[in-house]
Amino acid sequence: MRKVLVLGGDGFCGWPTALHLSDAGYEVIIVDDFSRRKTDIELEVESLTPIQPLGERLRVWREVSGKNIRHVVITIGKEYHRLLELLVTEKPHTIVHFAEQRSAPYSMKSSSHRRLTVNNNLSATNDILAAIVESKLDIHLVHLGTMGVYGYGTAGMKIPEGYLKVQVEEEGRFVSSEILYPPNPGSIYHMTKAQDQLLFAFYNKNDGLRITDLHQGIVWGTQTHQTRRDEYLINRFDYDGDYGTVLNRFLMQAAINYPLTVHGTGGQKRAFIHIQDSCRCIQLAIENPPEKDDRVKILNQMTEIHRVRDLAKLIADKTDVAIAYVDNPRKESPENDLLAVNDQLLEMGLQPITLSDKLLSEVEQVAKKYSSRCDQRKIPCLSKW
């Protein structure tokens, strides 16, 4: 049985991915220090869905599936030698790296949040890469990156998967090459993911590491086939102004009839993917690794592109909730164009779940069901930049 370490396996993407891989026959070990749960304590907010302690989640998963997922507490980026020892002892086939602070608004709250995000994310990534090198094992690293490294706004061009073909004229002849797509991050958080790309390129070139970087869009939805199997397996659902992402926030706001908080004109175009597809993409990435001498493999992990105000209108039309155009707390283009390629995951067999398939069932089955747990004071986005 192939062994996979899921770093950050108690979080919003990590937990359903750990279950998905366990269900698919992988031996899964979660490495997580509960930092996401500690941030909830700092922000005085809770997941809309009642998430269970990790030990309970794992016990119930054993009960319903007959499969065992182990858990190790290591703070990635701080406890290097424990991480190295884990690699040497367990000899995983793949490491899936979710162990980063993932909220843009959180990263922009104050200088201490900027520093925490940079220190945490960059040292986590560097420690994992250095530990793979020191272990001398041929471990494939699958990293959850973001579409936000590209910036949003493509002047009519489709964003390629990681690399941009460039051609320059040199003394009358054309020379062409492929370079990493120039990063243009919009927050400290997104900037750390742009820096991660350079670490990957270096370790790939210098040490021959096999790395897949998944540039993921905004995830929506909550439940997957596995998290639905028991109430105790439910995934987290963030709706607050720091960690809640736009579509899930709108779904929850519609469920409690709270006017949808569109930032500015809502002209921002963004890429989206359902949480179930996100798990499936991780499995596809694990099963289609780069060859030994390949460059870093970059996949755009997104399935649909929408404008924020169109999403608000779609939900408002289906649920009768009002739309509130609020001052945009972020420094971002009020209107942008966005086109992107996602050919590689489609070629590997991804069959995307679309908004039209699932949107209303998410409002009914999750957002409405747990709406009494919502603290409305936590909805506004207070982090401004």
Determine if 332 is a binding residue for ligand USQ (CB under 6 A). yes
Binds ligand USQ by CB under 6 A, chosen from 107, 146, 278, 300: 146
Tell me the residue nearest to ligand USQ as measured from the CB. 148
Give min distance, CB of 363 to ligand USQ, in A: 16
Q: Name the catalytic one among 80, 150, 189, 370.
A: 189
Is the Cβ of residue 279 or residue 308 nearer to ligand USQ in the bound state? 308
Distance CA 101, CA 12 (A): 12
Which residues 265-294 are close enough to bind ligand USQ by CB under 6 A? 266, 268, 270-271
Closest CA to 212 of 272, 137, 282, 128: 282
Q: Name the catalytic one among 17, 192, 193, 239.
A: 193
Distance CA 133, CA 139 (A): 9
The tokens 């007959």 sit on which residue? 66
Q: Is 260 exposed, middle or buried (0-12, 13-18, 19+ CB in 10 A)?
A: buried
Is the Cβ of residue 232 or residue 385 nearer to ligand USQ in the bound state? 385
Determine if 342 is a binding residue for ligand USQ (CB under 6 A). no
Sign of the torsion formed by the C-alpha atoms of 153, 308, 236 and 34: positive
Contact partners, residue 336, CB within 8 Å, separation at least 6:
152, 153, 267, 268, 269
Distance CA 165, CA 180 (A): 9
Determine if 218 is a binding residue for ligand USQ (CB under 6 A). yes
Q: How many angstroms separate the Cα of 44 from the Cα of each of 1, 15, 242?
A: 41, 22, 11
Assess contact for 92 and 139: CB atoms under 8 A: yes
Q: Look up 146 and say whether it is catalytic.
A: yes
Is the Cβ of residue 13 or residue 139 nearer to ligand USQ in the bound state? 13
Where does this chain touch ligand USQ (CB under 6 A) — which range of 24-32, 97-105, 174-182, 313-321? 97-105
Determine if 102 is a binding residue for ligand USQ (CB under 6 A). yes
Token code pair at residue 133: 């090198």
Is the Cβ of residue 77 or residue 148 nearer to ligand USQ in the bound state? 148
How many residues contact ligand USQ, by CB under 6 A? Answer: 23
Is the Cβ of residue 148 or residue 289 nearer to ligand USQ in the bound state? 148
Binds ligand USQ by CB under 6 A, chosen from 217, 221, 267, 352: 217
User: CA angle 103-248-244, nearest 5°?
Assistant: 25
Is the Cβ of residue 287 or residue 335 nearer to ligand USQ in the bound state? 335
Closest CA to 247 of 303, 191, 307, 189: 307
Binds ligand USQ by CB under 6 A, chosen from 121, 192, 261, 383: 261
Q: Look up 189 and say whether it is catalytic.
A: yes
Binds ligand USQ by CB under 6 A, chosen from 142, 296, 308, 315: 308
Please give the span between the terminal C-alpha atoms of the chain, in angstroms, as a whole number. 47
Amino acid identity of 364?
E
Which are the catalytic amino acids? 146, 189, 193
Chain contacts with ligand USQ (rule: CB under 6 A): 102-104, 146-148, 217-218, 245-246, 249, 261-263, 266, 268, 270-271, 308, 328, 330, 332, 381
